[in-house]
Amino acid sequence: MIGNKTRRLMASGAAALLLAAGGVLAGAAPASAAYSDCPHGRACFFSDWNGTGSWGSAPGCGTYYLGQWAGTVSSIKTHGNAIRLLDGKNNSVGYVPAWTSTNLSAAENDKAQWIWVIC
């Protein structure tokens, strides 16, 4: 039988492994999103074109699994860093330069599983 202390150690170890491998993004969908909702210094992604629909953001440099937005990203806003969008096999499916608000192309739309904030 596993004790509570062992369970806590296992849980904290799993969390550390997840963060080392790349975080998972979470968030809530607002009633109406806009590019202006993107906090300064973050890279934000939106489920619909023109910065609308549900949205989330990467908290900083690194690679993050898009979670509920995996396969649904249609537009991006970047602040100071460029981002690369990756599919489930770690292949690049898109690139957005720093200081850009844009819709993804037909080839990039709804393909990303991961976001890499390049620093």
Whole-structure pTM value? 0.75
CA distances (Å), origin 36, targets 11, 20, 23, 30, 50: 37, 31, 24, 13, 11
- pLDDT by residue, tens only, the chain of 119 residues: 444 443 333 333 333 333 334 565 545 454 468 999 999 889 999 999 999 999 999 999 999 999 999 999 999 999 999 999 999 999 999 999 999 999 999 999 999 999 999 99
Residue 53, both tokens = 């629909």
Quick one: 24-117 is in which CATH superfamily? Crystallins (2.60.20.10)
